[in-house]
């Protein structure tokens, strides 16, 4: 292989989480023979490892996996995983509809491992730029890695997951003692070893906030827990089967074609299906635990609702001081804790308080984006329309603002989205990949 062939790929994937694993599966199933390399910053395939809590279950029907809604005969299905692990009958006998998150993470790993030949783990993408004459077929993307390597690509599937939403007051304090919830488990282990952490504040009112509060209540040695959020109390997730039709393929069409005003209305009406709410089982567990603690005269967990954090400071010892404001009376009080977990979600694309105009890594690529009031725009097949015209850049798994609820925060439509991106990619690269096929290149190329 010449040098040119070894660092120029038909497709480079940024991230190898569910979004790009789904794309790899779709490309494999159609027998695409372009060259592809997926770059993953972790050392191994893992699905949300910071939140693989004991007892936590998944939030979607397990058959909405990488393939079943598109191709129920696929060998990459969750059922085939169970069968190959010799656990099918035990699973079917489980008195629950939703598998444990750790079991689904094992399924994700099992699928990912079948693509080891086209993934480079430990590869942290730090920048993406363009090379060549704008709008010509010869233009390529240059992907820069933290270890100094660069790769060139005829197309990109950009799938690093959404940017964590960190409230501005906390942004300069992220570190050992103040973490986003996606880093919860390693932080919890650190804090357990560091005996100085005796109290933890969980900020947020969603599924993750309840799960973390319950989890912290079970750790030894015990820690005091304050859970604070802006709402009145925990809201139940909207699990009406009518609402859950947002995970039907038709909903994506409806949402995508709606005006921005209608999208905002739909968002407000349907957001409790996945955001700012929690499942009945964990809400009830927490309520019962608080009741039992009350009976026992324990004060381990306290809830501070209806309040916002307006200022943060941190002592040299690591202790965190929070200034809280009651949202009704505007009364201010302070709270001192040893650590904070921010269960504050992720940023979608948009201009709102917790949104971003484009993911930071695409800053050099979003060349047509223009002024400060413009947000990255996406075609129905998830291609950036503000990017270079002749070089397809797919934004894979970040498109809830344009494509609706099933896009970023859920597995539910992953198999169909992967198919759409794969079809579009194959069509757009057909001239190159036909040439590659005549050269009889392997479908995927590993780099050292
Ligand atoms: C705690 C938790 C539980 C969830 N549970 C469910 C559930 O039960 N059901 C459901 O449908 N959805 C669930 N979700 C939503 C979930 O985020 C999606 O289903 C899915 O993980 C999204 O996949 P993704 O590939 O888009 O993003 P991610 O899962 O975030 O994967 C992105 C990958 O890109 C890598 N990466 C990031 N930046 C770079 C970089 N610069 N260079 C190289 N690699 C990079 C990351 O390491 C990661 O592996 C959950 C989310 C969370 C946080």
Cα–Cα dist 434/126, whole Å: 31
Separation of CA 18 and ligand 1 centre (Å): 6
Nearest CA owner, ligand 1 atom 15:
409
Same domain, 177 and 137: no
**What does the pLDDT read at residue 5?**
53
Closest residue by Cα to atom 28, ligand 1, is 161
Q: Does residue 17's CB lie within 6 angstroms of at least one atom of ligand 1?
A: yes
- Look at residues 325, 345, 365 and tell me which one is the last residue of a structural domain: 345
Quick check: is 283 in a domain?
Answer: yes
User: Shortest CA distance to 286 belongs to which of 305, 313, 310, 261?
Assistant: 305
Q: Does some domain include residue 70?
A: yes
Considering the domain architecture, whether residues 289 and 368 belong to the same structural domain is answered as: no
Cα distances (Å, whole numbers) of residue 360 to 125, 126, 265, 352? 12, 10, 27, 16
Measured from the Cα of 104, ligand 1's closest atom is: 8
Cα gap 124→235, rounded to integer Å: 37
408: containing domain: 8-162+348-428
* 39 & 91 share domain: yes
How far apart CA 29 and CA 38 sit, in angstroms, is 17
214 and 85 belong to one structural domain: no
Ligand 1 atom 17 nearest Cα = 409
Residue 195, pLDDT score:
85
Closest-CA residue, ligand 1 atom 10, reads 410
Q: What is the pLDDT along the chain (448 residues), one digit of tens a residue?
A: 233 456 899 999 999 999 999 999 999 999 999 999 999 999 999 999 999 999 999 999 999 999 999 999 999 999 999 999 999 999 999 999 899 999 999 999 999 999 999 999 999 999 999 998 777 777 899 999 999 999 999 999 999 999 999 999 999 999 999 999 999 999 999 999 988 899 999 999 999 999 999 999 999 999 999 999 999 999 999 999 999 999 999 999 999 999 999 999 999 999 999 999 999 999 999 999 999 999 999 999 999 999 999 999 999 999 999 999 999 999 999 999 999 999 999 999 998 888 999 999 998 888 677 777 788 989 999 999 887 777 899 999 999 999 998 888 789 999 999 999 999 999 999 877 754 444 344 344 444 3
Residue to substitute in 24, 41, 145, 395 for testing ligand 1 pocket (most ligand atoms within 8 angstroms of CB):
41
d(CA 186, CA 343): 15
Rounded CA separation 274/404 (Å): 12
Atom 1 of ligand 1 has which residue's CA nearest to it? 51
Ligand 1 atom nearest 396 alpha carbon: 26
For residue 367 the two structure tokens come to: 């060349």
* Cβ(410) – ligand 1 distance below 6 Å: yes
CA-nearest residue for atom 52, ligand 1, is: 48
For 115-144, b/e burial (b = at least 16 CB within 10 A) is: beebbbeebebeebebebeeeeeebbbbbb
Say if residue 287 is in the same domain as residue 169.
yes
Assess if residue 263 is contained within a domain.
no
Is 183 part of any domain?
Answer: yes
For atom 11 of ligand 1, which residue has the closest CA?
Answer: 410
**Surface-to-core class of residue 375, CB atoms within 10 Å of its CB (0-12 exposed, 13-18 middle, 19+ buried):** buried
Same domain for 318 and 170: yes
Q: Is residue 22 part of a domain?
A: yes
**Secondary structure (DSSP) of 80-147:** HHHHHTT-HHHHHT-S-SS-BHHHHHHHHHHHHHTTGGGEEET--EEEEEEESSTTSTT-EEEEEETT
Q: Are residues 292 and 376 in the same domain?
A: no
Chain centroid to Cα 378, Å, comes to 18
Strand pairing of 320-326 and 332-337?
antiparallel
Q: Of ligand 1's atoms, which has the minimum distance to the CA of residue 162?
A: 30
Q: Is 124 in the pocket of ligand 1 (CB under 6 A)?
A: yes
Q: 304 CB under 6 A from ligand 1? A: no
Question: Is 159 near ligand 1, meaning CB less than 6 Å away?
Answer: yes
Examine the domain organization and report whether 141 and 191 are in the same domain: no
- Beta bridge mates, 349: 356
pLDDT reported for residue 435:
45
Last residue of one domain, picked from the residues 345, 365, 383 = 345
Question: How many angstroms separate the Cα of 65 from the Cα of each of 80, 156, 168?
Answer: 11, 23, 35
Q: How many Å apart are CA 280 and CA 419, to the nearest integer?
A: 34
CATH of the domain at 303: 3.50.50.60
| pLDDT score recorded for residue 372 | 73
- Residue 434 within any structural domain of the chain: no
pLDDT at site 306? 96
Task: Note whether 153 and 176 are same-domain residues.
Answer: no
The model's pTM is 0.94
Asked whether 182 lines ligand 1 (CB < 6 A), one says: yes
Total tally of structural domains belonging to the chain: 2
Residue nearest to atom 16 of ligand 1 (CA): 409
Question: Which of these three, 321, 345, 369, is where a domain ends?
Answer: 345
Spatial distance between the Cα atoms of 35 and 12, rounded to a whole number of angstroms? 9
pLDDT for res 365: 87
Helix (H) or strand (E) holding 281: helix 280-296
The Å distance, Cα 17 to ligand 1 centre, comes to 6
């Amino acid at each position: 292989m010449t040098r040119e062939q070894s660092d120029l790929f038909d497709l480079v994937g940024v991230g190898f989480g569910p979004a790009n694993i789904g794309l790899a599966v779709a490309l494999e199933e159609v027998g695409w023979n372009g060259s592809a390399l997926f770059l993953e910053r972790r050392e191994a395939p893992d699905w949300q490892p910071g939140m693989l809590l004991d007892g936590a279950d998944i939030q979607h029907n397990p058959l909405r996996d990488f393939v079943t809604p598109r191709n129920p005969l696929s060998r990459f299905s969750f059922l085939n995983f169970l069968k190959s692990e010799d656990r099918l009958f035990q699973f079917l006998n489980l008195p629950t509809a939703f598998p444990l998150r750790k079991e689904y993470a094992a399924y994700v790993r099992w699928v990912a491992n079948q693509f080891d030949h086209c993934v480079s783990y430990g590869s942290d993408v730090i920048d993406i730029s363009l090379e060549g004459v704008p709008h010509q077929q010869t233009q390529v993307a240059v992907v820069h890695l933290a270890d100094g390597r660069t790769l060139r690509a005829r197309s990109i599937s950009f799938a690093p997951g959404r940017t964590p939403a960190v409230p501005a007051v906390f942004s300069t304090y992220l570190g050992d003692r103040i973490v986003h919830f996606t880093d919860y488990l390693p932080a919890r282990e650190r804090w357990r070893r560091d005996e100085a952490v005796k109290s933890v504040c969980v900020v947020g009112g969603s599924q993750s906030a309840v799960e973390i509060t319950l989890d912290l209540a079970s750790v030894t040695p015990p820690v005091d827990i304050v859970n604070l959020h802006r709402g009145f109390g925990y809201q139940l997730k909207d699990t009406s089967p009518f609402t859950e039709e947002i995970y039907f393929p038709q909903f994506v069409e409806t949402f995508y074609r709606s005006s921005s005003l209608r999208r905002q209305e739909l968002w407000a009406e349907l957001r409790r299906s996945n955001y700012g709410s929690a499942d009945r089982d964990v809400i009830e567990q927490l309520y019962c635990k608080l009741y039992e603690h009350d009976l026992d005269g324990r004060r381990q967990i306290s809830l501070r609702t209806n309040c916002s954090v307006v200022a943060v400071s941190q002592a040299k010892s690591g202790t965190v001081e929070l200034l809280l404001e009651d949202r009704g009376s505007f009364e201010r009080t302070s709270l001192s804790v040893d650590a904070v977990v921010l269960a504050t979600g992720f940023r979608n694309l948009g201009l709102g308080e917790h949104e971003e105009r484009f993911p930071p890594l695409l800053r050099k690529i979003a060349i047509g984006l223009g002024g400060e009031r413009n947000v990255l725009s996406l075609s129905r097949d998830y291609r950036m329309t503000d990017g270079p015209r002749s070089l397809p850049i797919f934004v894979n798994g970040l498109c809830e603002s344009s494509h609706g609820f099933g896009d970023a925060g859920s597995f539910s439509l992953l198999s169909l989205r992967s198919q759409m991106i794969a079809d579009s990619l194959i069509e757009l690269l057909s001239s190159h990949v036909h040439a590659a096929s005549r050269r009889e290149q392997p479908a995927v190329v590993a780099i050292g």
